[in-house]
Amino acid sequence: MPPRLLPVPASLTRSKLRLPLAAIALISGLAGQPALAERADRDKPVNIEADSMQYDDAKQVNVFTGSVTLTKGTILIRADRLVLRQDAAGNQYGTAHGNPASFRQKRDGVEQFIVGTGQQITYDGKAETVRFEQRATLKRLERERVTDEVHGNLIVYDSRSEFFDVRSGGASAATPENPGGRVRVVIQPKQAAPAEPAPTPLTPAQGIDPARR
């Protein structure tokens, strides 16, 4: 069965589309309890690798450039440039730029990941939101298989509630995957469980005296 492309009313493409991932899971037949983003991530340290770094002590701002990789628990951000700051309470805020920049986070309790891309990604550690801007995509992967995906010019993902807002950008936001630049949702059909092999029938052995069976 081929993937289904859901038609989106024009009124939504001019404003925004708000969908829970749990609802998408229900539509696509992925039954089960909804799982939120990995809860242990909030208490994990931030690790960053880059080609260079500049630090502004007065503003408490770090600027990393060149093949930047940020990890925080299951969170993985890759970018060409990353601006990172931390408030007095220890919450981290980051803005990543790339062509595109990418974000990945595991969902709690299941082997599923949320993967997003955009020319700019803004991470708010206090609100636990991720903002994908300019030719943005957001996908849910189950064992590396894409189960759901959404395209737009702006996607705001709330990892606490697993809700996201999607807005279109018209022709200026067109991509090969989304040539119209409109809000676009693709839901893959649920894969059927593999059939169990039929049991092998038992047959009496040959050459044995029936009296000894």
Poorest-pLDDT segment among 70-74, 121-125, 199-203: 199-203
Query: Cis link prior to 100 (omega < 30° from 0)?
Result: yes
Confidence class for position 46, pLDDT limits 50, 70, 90: confident
DSSP state of 21: H
Q: Is residue 179 included in any domain, yes or no?
A: yes
The domain that holds 142 is classified in CATH as: 2.60.450.10
pLDDT score of 213: 55
Contact 161, 130 (CB under 8 A): no
Q: Phi/psi of residue 212, each to 5°?
A: -95, 0
Q: How far is CA 111 from CA 85, 114, 143, 144, in A?
A: 31, 11, 6, 9
The pairing of beta strand 61-72 with beta strand 75-86: antiparallel
C-alpha to C-alpha distance for 64 and 73, rounded to whole angstroms: 20
Look up the domain containing 128 and give its range: 4-191
Q: Is residue 128 included in any domain, yes or no?
A: yes
- Identity of the amino acid at 118: G
- The dihedral of CA 38, 16, 177, 83: what is its sign? negative
**Per-residue model confidence as pLDDT tens digits over 142-161:** 888 888 888 899 999 887 77
Of residues 150 and 1, more confidence is placed in 150
Contact 181, 14 (CB under 8 A): no
For the chain, the domain total comes to 1
Average pLDDT over residues 55-66: 90
**Per-residue model confidence as pLDDT tens digits over 62-101:** 999 999 999 988 889 999 999 999 888 888 899 999 999 9
Q: Is residue 130 included in any domain, yes or no?
A: yes
